[in-house]
Structure 1
Amino acid sequence: MEQIINVLNKIDSIVWGPALLILLVGTGIYLTVRLGLLQVFKLPLAIKLLFAKDDDDNGDGDVTSFAALCTALAATIGTGNIVGVATAIKMGGPGALFWMWMAAFFGMATKYAEGLLAIKYRVTDKNGQMSGGPMYYIEKGLGIKWMAKLFALFGIGVAYFGIGTFAQINSITQSVNVAFNVPVVVTSVIITILVALVTLGGIQSISKVSELVVPFMAIFYVVGSVIILIYNASVLPGAIALIIKSAFTPAAAAGGFLGATVRQAIQNGIARGVFSNESGLGSAPIAAAAARTKSCVRQGLISMTGTFFDTIVICTMTGLVLISTGVWNSDLQGAAMTNQAFTVGLPIPVIGKLIVTIGLIFFAFTTIIGWNYYGERCTEYLFGVKGIKPYRYIFIFLVAIGAFLKLDLVWILADIVNALMAIPNLIALIGLSGVIVAETKSYFNQQKQDKKKAA
């Protein structure tokens, strides 16, 4: 097993090398410039659209724009927000959180572009469901069908072996075992049955569960985190200063922390940030394509809020709790590290433990069902509707066995398939940037004209 892990580590270091990090952040910077800092100036509008009723909701699609976002958030708000942040800080030091912020800021422009293209190039499959995402805008927009197929193949790989199964079920079972001493096999069986019940119902079932669970779980976790930060308010300024300092200078070894270079902070921050919010990965546009809307720009704006909520809000909460409590430099790692931070951060330890465990269960479960849908749409693109049922059964089987894999292997596999999925999507976003800018200008020019007429 050690030899396999060593080989995978070498592959991981290659695919997540400087080239991909530059491509990821560079695409976000490029789109940010071309779109005129849209993620800053249009964020209030995007949040308003998220909760506003609009005539666009009567457009073609399977679910409302809000339900599509919740499905996307179900897939993105997962173990990356709890375990991933802890892993990033453990490997890269407190400065990794700063680079997660940077990746998220530019990633918002990337996520906007993905949501826009998802609506523009979506199609209806033989079952009457909407299908869209990078495989369609690569084929129909760029005209490169082989690359579209490659993306879909990698997408199935991420659903099966990356974010969709192993990392989530492993985190759930280990956290429940540590917190409540429930055997791994018991938790694994329960989660597998629940996943089967939800995912076999398709997008309608998945979106209904997501609409119900996602807002609740996000508010529950953020409120719990804010209480801890208020309780530890005296050390918060120092924690923020440490984050910024460590982002640009090497972090010295302390306690169980072995020290980290600036490069490690950047690499771990960006890699875990992408794992968490999936900007540039090409997953969220698959859910966005199901939205009932007539405007690709409107859906792009709504999609953009996903990265904001996921990383700027929720990951920040986790990171600040880890650093302000001092647990980041302990010998613990992963879910156990976050669990300890929340436990010592409150005067009643059992409450902190419950916040993390319950949050992790909901976060990871919804990620599993969201990624089931992503992989399903990639399967439908490659093999047609006949491939959907076999795909679902294999997915459920992989969820069942995921709890019994070694954690190191899980995270390395997730990292590798993430990178492979991101590359063709990022190439497409750069290649179609002219379309993205043209659609954006057209939409906001029309908005101005409509306001003038109304006046």
Structure 2
Amino acid sequence: MAKLDEFIAEFASFVWGLPLLILLTGGGLYLLIYSKFLPYRYLRHSIEVLRGKYDNPDDPGEINHFKALSTALASTIGMGNIAGVAVAIAIGGPGAMFWLWVSAVIGMATKFFTNTLAVMYRGRDTKGELQGGPMYFITEGLGKKWWAMAAFFSLAGLIGALPVFNVNQLTQAINYILLSPNGVEVNFTSNLIVGIILAGITAIVIFGGLQRISNTVSRLVPAMVALYFLSVLIILVVNYDMVPHYFAMIFTDAFAAKNYSGEPFLGGVLGGIIILGIRRGAFSNEAGIGTAPMAHGAAKTTEPVREGLVAMLGPAIDTLVVCSLTGMAILVTGVWQTTDVNGVSLTAAAFNASMPVYGNYLLLLCIAIFSISSLFSYSYYGTKCLSFLIGAEKKHYYNYFYVLSILVGATTSLSMMINLIDGFFALMAIPTMTATLIMAPRVLKEAKKYFAKLKI
């Protein structure tokens, strides 16, 4: 297992090299400048679309704009926001937060383009049902000769969509917060029992298909964000005197990288902290990875630009709001310097420091909702990838593989799970960003036409 762990870590480091950094971050920056910051100029309109002002039940698609965003957010607002941010700060210090923010600002433009394409170039599966996602906008937008690239995305997506990291961290949270303090011995057996329970809950929802998934998460997502927001607000109020100091330190340490303890990149620690922030940002908001277009591609709309505008709200909510809350809670309590725990345990230490007795249990409730909602959404992405590869009639087989992987995630190490998903996310980003950059002029043309028609 140690050798496998090392191999997966090397694989993740290799694929997250300079070429991918240029493609994902440089590509996103290019889209932002190329569009002349267009997505940001229509934030108000995107909120109106999200609220249902332009909904038409007769439009093609399966779910409305709000449910599409909820399904996408249920996968992105997950353990990446709680455990992923904790990992970033444990390795990179306060400065890692700045590069997370950079990835979100750039990611908003990326999400606008990728999700507009997801509706512009929807395809039909072998059952004749309308589908969206990178594999479809590659083949429908660029032609069948690009099928190999679409298949590459789908193959990587079969592993990238697995819930192993979320399950790993939820299991760790249950062990750290619930079992160990109450004298329950934590071992392989206890982890396996947690995994079996999670597998059972997940199976009930995911075998009901997209409608059941979207109905469930559209109720869970707003509640979980509100609960988490209030919890962290209490921590920031308790430690109000430290907030200005650490907020300023996020900016100064982003370039000094004095607290960075990871591997250097491009010959220095600054390069290391940048790649750390971008990796954790990509894991958090998934901009450019290609998962969200699979959810937004199912939206009921005839206007691709509308869905692009709704989708771009994802990184703002996910990274600029939720990740920032986690980061500030860990920093102001000082636990990032006073404990050697990592991942979700570090966030739990922050909650416990400011709200003894109740804090940990409040976080456990948030984590449970975050993780379980993510478990539901990721299964949908995996079934879409398998459907594209071998036919919609056989896509349900993925769910059996998915449920079994929950047991693996519950019983293996954090480093193995986070590196595995990181690595396959990187592979998914290659076809997604390549196709998006090629078709960016088409998106801009569609956007200009849309806004001219609306006269806004």
Corresponding position of 2:142: 142
Amino acid of the residue matched to residue 353 of structure 2?
A: V
1:175 aligns with 2:173: yes
Give the structure-2-normalised TM-score.
Answer: 0.93
1:301 aligns with 2:303: no
Amino acid of the residue matched to residue 120 of structure 2?
A: K
1:373 aligns with 2:371: no
- Alpha-carbon RMSD across the aligned residues, in angstroms, is 1.7
Amino acid of the residue matched to residue 158 of structure 1?
A: G
- 1:276-330: CA deviation from partner (whole Å, max 9, x where unpaired): 1000000000000111111100011001111110001000000011111111123
How far does residue 434 in structure 1 lie from its aligned partner after superposition? 0.7
Distance 1:247 1:3, change over 3 A: same
Q: Is the 8 A contact 2:126 2:393 kept in 1?
A: no
1:277 aligns with 2:285: yes
* Separation of aligned partners in 2, 1:237 and 1:336: 25
Residue from 425, 432, 440 that aligns with 2:432: 425
How far does residue 127 in structure 1 lie from its aligned partner after superposition? 4.2
Greater mean alpha carbon deviation, residues 56-65 or residues 293-302: 56-65
Aligned runs of 1:205-224 on 2, under 5 Å? 205-224=212-231
Corresponding position of 1:288: 296
* Separation of aligned partners in 1, 2:292 and 2:205: 19
- 1:243-280: CA deviation from partner (whole Å, max 9, x where unpaired): 11110012147xxx789822222111110110010000
- 1:325-356: CA deviation from partner (whole Å, max 9, x where unpaired): 1111231211110000111123xx12321232
Give the structure-1-normalised TM-score.
Answer: 0.93
How far does residue 421 in structure 1 lie from its aligned partner after superposition? 0.6
* Separation of aligned partners in 1, 2:204 and 2:41: 42
* Separation of aligned partners in 1, 2:258 and 2:208: 48
* Separation of aligned partners in 2, 1:178 and 1:80: 18
Q: Is the 8 A contact 2:9 2:415 kept in 1?
A: no
Secondary structure (helix, strand or coil) at the match of 1:444 reads helix
* Separation of aligned partners in 2, 1:39 and 1:230: 34
* Separation of aligned partners in 1, 2:129 and 2:76: 22
Greater mean alpha carbon deviation, residues 53-62 or residues 369-378: 53-62
How far does residue 442 in structure 1 lie from its aligned partner after superposition? 0.6
1:4 aligns with 2:4: yes
1:337 aligns with 2:341: no
Distance 1:437 1:194, change over 3 A: same
- 1:19-40: CA deviation from partner (whole Å, max 9, x where unpaired): 2112111111111112121243
Corresponding position of 2:27: 27
Residue from 322, 330, 336 that aligns with 2:330: 322
How far does residue 123 in structure 1 lie from its aligned partner after superposition? 2.6
Secondary structure (helix, strand or coil) at the match of 2:290 reads coil
Q: Is the 8 A contact 1:246 1:262 kept in 2?
A: no
Amino acid of the residue matched to residue 16 of structure 2?
A: W
1:48 aligns with 2:48: yes
* Separation of aligned partners in 2, 1:341 and 1:321: 6
Corresponding position of 2:251: 244
Distance 1:439 1:92, change over 3 A: same
How far does residue 197 in structure 1 lie from its aligned partner after superposition? 0.5
* Separation of aligned partners in 2, 1:141 and 1:282: 15
Amino acid of the residue matched to residue 43 of structure 2?
A: L
* Separation of aligned partners in 2, 1:53 and 1:186: 46
Corresponding position of 1:153: 155
Corresponding position of 1:58: 58
1:406 aligns with 2:390: no
Q: How many residues align?
A: 440
Distance 1:271 1:287, change over 3 A: same
* Separation of aligned partners in 2, 1:40 and 1:107: 12
How far does residue 126 in structure 1 lie from its aligned partner after superposition? 4.5
How far does residue 55 in structure 1 lie from its aligned partner after superposition? 4.2
- 1:164-216: CA deviation from partner (whole Å, max 9, x where unpaired): 32101111111112111073233222211110000001101100111111111
- Aligned-pair identity in percent equals 38
Structure 2: runs of 5 or more not aligned? 185-189
Secondary structure (helix, strand or coil) at the match of 1:353 reads helix
* Separation of aligned partners in 1, 2:29 and 2:56: 30
Q: Is the 8 A contact 1:117 1:137 kept in 2?
A: yes
- 1:388-420: CA deviation from partner (whole Å, max 9, x where unpaired): 121111111111332111221111111111101
Residue from 369, 381, 397 that aligns with 1:362: 369
Q: Is the 8 A contact 1:69 1:303 kept in 2?
A: yes
Q: Is the 8 A contact 1:252 1:259 kept in 2?
A: no
Q: Is the 8 A contact 2:52 2:65 kept in 1?
A: no
* Separation of aligned partners in 2, 1:259 and 1:351: 37
Distance 1:39 1:353, change over 3 A: farther
